[in-house]
Chain A
Amino acid sequence: MSNAPLATGASRDMVSSVATPAAKSDFAARFRANSEYVVIPLIALLIAAALFAVFLLAIGKSPVDFVSYVWRGGFGTSFSLQNTLQRSAPLILTALAVAIPARIGLIMIGGEGALVLGGFASAVLAIPMLGRVPPMPTLILMAIFAMAVGGFWVGIAGFLRYARGVNETISSLLLTYIGIAIMNFFVEGSLRDLSDPNKPSTKPLGKEYMVGVIPGTEVHWGIVFGVLLCIGLYILMTRTTFGFAARVTGGNFRAALAQGLPVGRLIVACSAIAGACAGLAGFFEVAAIQGRANASLAAGYGFTGILVAFLARQNPLAIPPVAILFGGLVASGGLIQRRMGLPDATVLVLQGLIFVVLLTSETLYGRFSIFKPRAERDRT
C-alpha cells in the first residue's frame, strides 16, 4: 500500500519526460505539480476554519466576531501588527527546530525545551557580566551561549537516536520537561533574584543590556534573524552537499549508509542546528521581551512551532509567512478572551483542529488529476 504513491510518482516523471518536448510546458508541469503543496494545505486550513466556525456556533458564539477580533488583535492596527511580528519571531525559530530534523527523517518536538534552556542559559551567563562588559559583546556571547545550549539539548535526542535507536519524538519531549524542571530548579533556588518577591526569576538584565528594536518600529530584531536563518538554512539544506547528504539520509537511511555517508554526524548536526534555532528564540525572549529568565519562558511557542513547521511542509522559506499568521492568532488571544468571553485556550483548540485536519489532508496528495501533467491525465 505504501508503494502506491511512489509508483505513481515514478510513472509521472517518466511520462512527463517523454511527452513534454518544450521547456515552456515543462515549467507549466512543474508549476502544476508544485501548486499541489500550496492548495492542499490551504484546503485543510479552510476545512479547519469551517469546523471551528461550527464549534463556535455550537457554543453560541459568532464566528464573524471571532474573525474580526483576530484581525483587529493580530493585523488590523499598527500596534497589533507589531505585536504579531514580535510573537512570530520565536515561532519562526521553533518551526525551524522542527523543519530541519524533518529533512533527515526525524520528528523532533523538543523546541520548547531548547527555547527554555537556551533563554535561561543566556540570562545566567549575563549575570556576572552586567556592568563589567559592554552590552554589545555581552549580547553576542549570550546569543552564542543560548544557541550552544539549545543545540546541545536537542543534539542529545539526535545522538540517542543514532547511537541507541531511542525514539527521537519521545526523547525530545522528555528533554523538554527535564529542561523546564532544570530552569525551575535554579530560578526558584540558588539563582533566584531575591529583590523581586512576586515571581521567581533570575536577576534582570536592565534596560541597556536588552536587544533594541528595529528603527521606526516597536519590533525587536528577532524576526530579522529568524528570516535570515530561514534563508540560510534553506540554502544549506537544498544547495550544499551537507543538505543533500541529509536529505538522502532522510529519504533512505540504508542507501545513505551504503554510500558511506556519515549518517551519525549528519543526524546529530541537524538536531543541533534545530536546537540552536530554538535556543536563539529563547535568547530573544529573555534579552528582548522578558529581561530575565522565569517560568513565562515556557509559553508554548515550541509547540505552536511544530504546527507552523508542518503547515509550511518543513520548507524553511514557507515558515515566515505561516509563522506570522499564527503569531497574529496567538497575539489576538487576549482580545478574544476579553471581548468574546472565551477562555484563553480557544486558540489552542483552533491550533489543534488545524493540526489534525492538516495531517488528515496528507492523504489527498496525488489524488487530484488537476495537479498531474496533461499527458498523464489524458491516459488515465
Chain B
Amino acid sequence: MNEPAVLTVLIAMLGGAIRVSTPFMFVSLGECLTEKSGRVNLGLEGTLVLGAMVAYAFSYHTGSPWIGVLAAGVAGSALGAMHGSICGLPRVNDVAVGIAMMLFGVGVAFFFGKPYIQPEAPRLGSIPLGFWSDSASLKSALQVNPLFFIGIALALMIAWSLRNTRWGLVVRTVGDSAAAARAMGISVNFVRLMTTTLGGFLAGIGGAFLSLSYPGSWNQGLSSGQGLMAVALVIFARWDPLRCIAAALLFGAAGAIGPSLQSIGITQGYYFFNAAPYILTLGIMIATSSAKHSARDMPGELSIAK
C-alpha cells in the first residue's frame, strides 16, 4: 500500500458513498413525490426488497439486467398502486397500511426469491470514470453505475416539473390542502394513487440497484432498513428532490464507513459502524423535528410529522 491510510479510507468512502447512496436516492425520490401529494408510504422497505428480487430474477431469466430494472419498477408500482388504492378508502390509516405493505412485500420477495439465492444473474455494468487516474483504488471507487446518473437526472426532472408544470401544481395543491384541490375539481384520491404508484416504481428501481449492482446479489439480508431510512431522509431533505440527492449522498457516506475501515484492516466495531446509518438517521430526525410546530416546508396534508 503506497497511499496513506486516511486517503485510502476517504477514497473508499467516496466510492462507497456513490454506490450506497443510489438506492437511498431512488427510494427517497419516490417517497418525496408521494409525500408531496400528502400521503405517506412506509411500505417502501418492502418495495425495495421485492424490487431487488424481481430485478435479479428477470435479469437471470432474460439475460438482460436492464429488463430486470424495468421489471423491478413494474413490481414496485404494483405495490404502490395497492397502497394507493387501499388508502383511498375512507377511514384507512396510511401509516398502518404502510407497515402491512412492508411485511407483505418482504414476504412475497422471500417467497419467490428462494430459488434465486444461488444462481448468478448478469449484473449492470458501470462506467469507469476513473480512467484518468493511476491509482487503482480511485479507479475502483469511480466505477459509477449509470443508475446513479439516471437518479440525479430524475431528481432534476421531478424538481422542475413540481415547480413548473400543471401536474406539479396539482400534486402540490393536493398535498397542501385536499379541500382546496376538491374545490378545484381535482380528484384527490386519483392524484395520490398516481404519485404512490410512481413512488413505488422508483423504489423498485432502487431495489434493482441493490441486487444488480451493489452489493450485487440476491439474498434475504439484502436490505435492512434502507427503505425506511429513505423515508426519514425525505423529512430531512424538507420535501425537495434536489436536497434528497444531497441527503442520500450523506447517508451513503455514513453507510460506507464500516466497509472502508475494513479495507485498511480495521475490523473492530464492524457492527457498530454498520449501525452508523441508523444512528445518523435518528440523530437527523431529532435535530430537524420540533414538538412545537410542524417541520419546515412540510406538505400541509401530511400525517407523519404532525
Contacts and interface: CB of A to CB of B under 8 A. Distances in A.
A174 B106 contact: no
12 contacts: A2-B90, A5-B91, A107-B96, A170-B231, A173-B225, A174-B228, A307-B103, A348-B106, A350-B107, A353-B104, A356-B101, A363-B90
Interface residues of A, number: 50
B305 A359 contact: no
B286 A355 contact: no
Interface in B276-306: 278-279, 281-282, 285-286, 289-292, 294, 304-305
Interface string A316-352: 0000000000000000000000000011111011111
Nearest to B220: A345
B143 interface: no
Given A107-B96, A343-B111, A177 B289 contact: no
Interface in B107-138: 107-108, 110-111, 114
Nearest to A181: B275
Contacts of A350: 107
Contact of A348 (B99, B103, B278): B103
Given A348-B111, A363-B90, A174 B103 contact: no
Contacts of B282: 166, 171, 174-175, 178
Contact of B95 (A2, A169, A345): A169
B42 to A, nearest CB: 7
Given A173-B225, A362-B91, A188 B108 contact: no
A4 B232 CA distance: 32
A173 B235 CA distance: 16
A330 to B, nearest CB: 13
B82 A356 contact: yes
Contacts of A348: 103, 106-107, 110-111
B108 A352 contact: yes
A167 interface: yes
A174 B232 contact: yes
A266 to B, nearest CB: 15
A363 B189 CA distance: 15
Given A174-B225, A181-B272, A348-B111, A365 B104 contact: no
B92 A359 contact: yes
Contacts of A358: 100
Contacts of B285: 160, 166-167, 170-171, 174
A184 B271 contact: yes
Contacts, number: 149
A352 B112 CA distance: 14
Interface string B68-110: 0000000000000010001001111101110111011111101
B269 interface: yes
A266 B156 CA distance: 45
Interface of B: 42, 82, 86, 89-93, 95-97, 99-101, 103-108, 110-111, 114, 224-225, 228-229, 231-232, 235, 268-272, 274-275, 278-279, 281-282, 285-286, 289-292, 294, 304-305
A169 B42 contact: yes
B contact patch SS: helix
A10 interface: no
Given A4-B90, A345-B111, A165 B305 contact: yes
Nearest to A160: B286
A346 B290 contact: no
Given A174-B285, A181-B278, A184-B271, 9 more contacts: A165-B292, A169-B95, A170-B228, A174-B232, A177-B225, A185-B271, A352-B103, A356-B100, A359-B100
Contact of B275 (A182, A310, A345): A182
Contact of A362 (B92, B105, B114, B235): B92
A352 B106 CA distance: 9
Contacts of A171: 282, 285
Nearest to A358: B100
Contacts of B271: 181-182, 184-185, 188-189
Given A177-B278, A178-B278, A348-B107, A164 B93 contact: no
Given A163-B291, A174-B282, A349 B107 contact: yes
Given A164-B289, A185-B272, A174 B229 contact: yes
Contacts of A18: none
Contacts of B272: 181, 185
A2 B188 CA distance: 14
Nearest to A1: B90
Given A107-B95, A166-B285, A352-B105, A177 B100 contact: no
Contacts of A362: 89, 91-93
A344 B106 CA distance: 12
Contacts of A164: 286, 289-291
B239 to A, nearest CB: 14
A351 B103 contact: yes
B9 to A, nearest CB: 20
B269 A185 contact: yes
Given A162-B291, A166-B289, A352-B103, A345 B110 contact: yes
Contacts of A2: 90-91
Interface in A61-75: none
Contact of A352 (B86, B92, B107, B279): B107
A348 B108 CA distance: 8
B132 to A, nearest CB: 38
Given A348-B111, A352-B107, A166 B228 contact: no
A4 B93 CA distance: 15
Rank and list the top 6 A-B pairs by shortest CB-CB distance, nearest first.
A352-B104, A348-B107, A345-B110, A181-B275, A355-B100, A185-B271
A2 B91 CA distance: 7
B65 to A, nearest CB: 24
Contacts of B108: 349, 352
